[in-house]
């Protein structure tokens, strides 16, 4: 699909933000952002594997030639799993993650689509973002994160969660 401008130029002389499909030549910049943003970054091989899947949606956000964010989403049967979403440190809190999610929903083109993800319990900023997007916590993966053994919240965005219920979420057990 084509490149889309999703935000006006930020303050200063920065170019507007464009979102397009992530491509293999983008991976060096993806790895650099990944290492800056996450305590346990994905390997290059993990990104190559996700990009090779025909059923996924992988997006990149650019300011000019600079990759400033990305999103990796894979489809498993009828569920879309958001595997990785990141925004470079100096572009955070500008609505870029929201724009990446909006572009994902646009490309999926299914109002009945179900999305899931895992997020660190301690990542209040991300949890708040996902809740604004209609995701609801429906379970916990104990000791999910290898770097410190932290639990992950399992969150879902479904037609049900968008109206305030977990009825269409498989095995929903809201975390304590």
pLDDT above 90 (res 4): no
Residue 3: active-site member: no
Question: Looking at the 3D structure of the chain, how many domains does it have?
Answer: 2
Residue 130: active-site member: yes
Of 36 and 11, the one with more pLDDT: 36
- Rounded to whole angstroms, the maximal C-alpha distance in the chain is 49
Is 139:154 a contact under the CB 8 Å cutoff?
A: yes
Do residues 17 and 36 both lie within one domain? yes
**In the prediction, which pLDDT does 1 show?**
46
Do residues 136 and 92 both lie within one domain? no
pLDDT digits (tens, 9 = 90+) for 164-176: 888 898 888 877 6
Do residues 117 and 159 both lie within one domain? yes
pLDDT digits (tens, 9 = 90+) for 43-77: 999 999 999 999 999 999 999 999 999 999 999 98
Range of the domain at 144: 112-176
Do residues 132 and 72 both lie within one domain? no
Do residues 54 and 67 both lie within one domain? yes
Kindly name the residue from 14, 50, 105, 118 that is annotated as catalytic.
118
- Taking phi over 0 as left and psi of -120 to 50 as alpha, with beta for the rest, 143 belongs to left
Is 30:42 a contact under the CB 8 Å cutoff?
A: no
For the purposes of burial, counting CB atoms within 10 Å of the CB of 104, is it exposed (0-12), middle (13-18) or buried (19 or more)?
A: buried
pLDDT above 70 (res 12): no
Q: Which of 69, 84, 109 is the last residue of a domain?
A: 109
């Amino acid at each position: 699909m084509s490149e889309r401008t999703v935000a006006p130029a930020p303050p200063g002389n920065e170019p507007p933000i464009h979102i397009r499909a992530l491509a293999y030549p983008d991976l060096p910049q993806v790895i650099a952002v990944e290492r800056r943003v996450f305590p346990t970054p994905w390997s290059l091989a993990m990104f190559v594997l996700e990009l090779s899947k025909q059923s996924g949606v992988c997006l990149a956000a650019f300011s000019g030639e600079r990759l400033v964010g990305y999103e990796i989403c894979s489809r498993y049967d009828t569920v879309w799993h958001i595997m990785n979403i990141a925004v470079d440190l100096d572009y955070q809190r500008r609505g870029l993650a929201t724009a990446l999610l909006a572009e994902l929903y646009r490309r999926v083109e299914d109002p009945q689509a179900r999305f899931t993800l895992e997020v660190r319990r301690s990542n209040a900023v991300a949890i708040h973002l996902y809740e604004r997007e209609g995701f609801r916590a429906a379970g916990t993966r104990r000791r999910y994160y290898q770097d410190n053994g932290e639990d992950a919240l399992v969150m879902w965005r479904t037609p049900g969660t968008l109206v305030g219920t977990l009825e269409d979420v498989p095995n929903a057990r809201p975390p304590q």
